[in-house]
Structure 1
Amino acid sequence: MGLLTPDPGLLFWMVVVFGIVFFLLAKYGFPVIIKMVDDRKAYIDNSLKAAREANAQLANVKAESEKILAQAHEEQARILKSATETRDRIIKDAQEKARLEGDRLMEEMKKQIETEKESAIRDIRRQVALLSVGVAEKVIRTKLADAKEQTELISRLVDEMVESSK
């Protein structure tokens, strides 16, 4: 026979061997292969489902993080506003204390100046009195060189004092 046409006996044995191999594969091979393909399909489906869930969770986390970030910005703005108000209040209190302290120091300085002024005036009056007494003493000594003039002056001063006390 030729190369292109098979012999009928060869064809028979080829069909028998093919049937046996097909039977063995159908009985033992295909179920295992189909089970592996189904398992692989289930694994892929589960992976896709998990990926969808992960995407949904990621979107939730992203939304939640944006919400938390917005809250943090609001809290930051509130804290900055509070800090600004506190700073302004502290500055105002410090200015008020400084003004009050300045007023108090000014009053103390005025009192001290007034006290020193009065002390200086008393000192000047005392010095003027001492000078006046010294000058008067010198004038009286020259005028009242004798005893008669001294007694007349003493009598006249005593009479003036008596009249002024009445």
Structure 2
Amino acid sequence: MSGLSVSEYPSHLKSCEVYHRVGGYPRANTPDPWHFAYLHGTARTVESLGTKWAPSPTYGSRLVDELSKMRGMKADAPGASAEMASIEVNGKKIGEGPLVDGTVLAPVRAVGEALGCRVGWNQQTKTASINGVTVPGELIGGSAYVYVRAVAKAAGAIVKWDTKERKVLISD
């Protein structure tokens, strides 16, 4: 929703603002048809959005279900056109990762195990962890990839970048 003014929101998003007390709602002396003082702050959860104004009582639950589906989606493996960087741990190549906006994503299990760390996966939240520390990343081709510096930090390792060789050097 960022970058849009309230007047540009689809009507159902504008309604969410009324319920959740954001965007300056409720507004006084406004012709906005979505401004109903009795709705202000009445939905405490997304699931409860269907109890007042939505087209069905299951509206909020359906929104939650759709969000859950989106969270479980997997991105495709990086294509041949994706820039890749080699990843070494203690002088041994352990794999490659895509270079995205100047940051290398690394296969969390390969890097974590090469550093002797405990690698975890939370299926419910779709997040990886190194030694119990959650590390940000994404699913690529069914595997968890995380920001290489986040893995190194969680493992207490040092990261260096070799621009010429397009190589991440990790040492513990």
TM-score normalised by structure 1 residue count: 0.15
Give 1 or 2: higher strand fraction.
2
Rg larger in structure: 1
Higher RCO, 1 vs 2 (CA within 8 Å, ≥6 residues apart): 2
Give 1 or 2: higher helix fraction.
1
